[in-house]
A = this chain, B = another copy of it.
Amino acid sequence: MELETYMHDLGRRARAASRWLAKADAATKNRALNLTADAIEHAGARLIEANARDVAAARLAKLDAAAIDRLTLTEKTVAAMADGLRQIASLPDPVGAISELKERPTGIKVGRMRVPLGVIAIIYESRPNVTADAAGLCLKSGNACILRGGSESIHSNQAIAVCVHEGLRGAGLPEDAVQVVNTTDRAAVGILLHMNDSVDILVPRGGKSLIERVMNESRIPMIKHLDGICHVYIDDAADEAKAIRIADNAKTQRLGTCNTMETLLVARPVAATILPKLASVYKSKGIELRGDDAARKIVPDMKAATEEDWRTEYLDAILAVRVVDGLDQAIEHIATYGSQHTDAIVTENTAHAQRFLREVDSSSVMVNASTRFADGYEYGLGAEIGISTDKLHARGPVGLEGLTSLKWVVFGDGQIRT
Contacts and interface: CB of A to CB of B under 8 A. Distances in A.
Interface of A: 19, 22-23, 96, 102, 104, 106, 108, 110, 113, 115, 117-118, 200-201, 215, 219, 221, 239, 241-242, 245-246, 248-250, 253, 335, 344, 355, 357-359, 361-370, 372-374, 378-380, 390-393, 395-397, 405-418
A148 to B, nearest CB: 20
Contacts of A355: 23
A372 B418 CA distance: 9
Contacts of A411: 366-369
One complex includes copies of this chain to the number of 2
A408 B365 contact: yes
A241 to B, nearest CB: 7
B106 A373 contact: yes
A143 to B, nearest CB: 11
B392 A396 contact: no
A104 B370 contact: no
Given A219-B219, A407-B396, A379 B412 contact: no
B358 A410 contact: no
Given A23-B358, A395-B405, 18 more contacts: A22-B358, A22-B359, A23-B355, A96-B358, A118-B361, A219-B219, A221-B391, A239-B414, A249-B416, A250-B416, A253-B416, A344-B410, A363-B408, A364-B408, A368-B414, A373-B410, A393-B405, A396-B407
A365 B104 contact: no
Contact of A405 (B113, B250, B391, B405): B391
Q: Of A96, A106, A415, which is in contact with the most chain B CB atoms at under 10 Å from its CB?
A: A415
A406 B390 CA distance: 11
A19 B241 CA distance: 32
A391 B23 contact: no
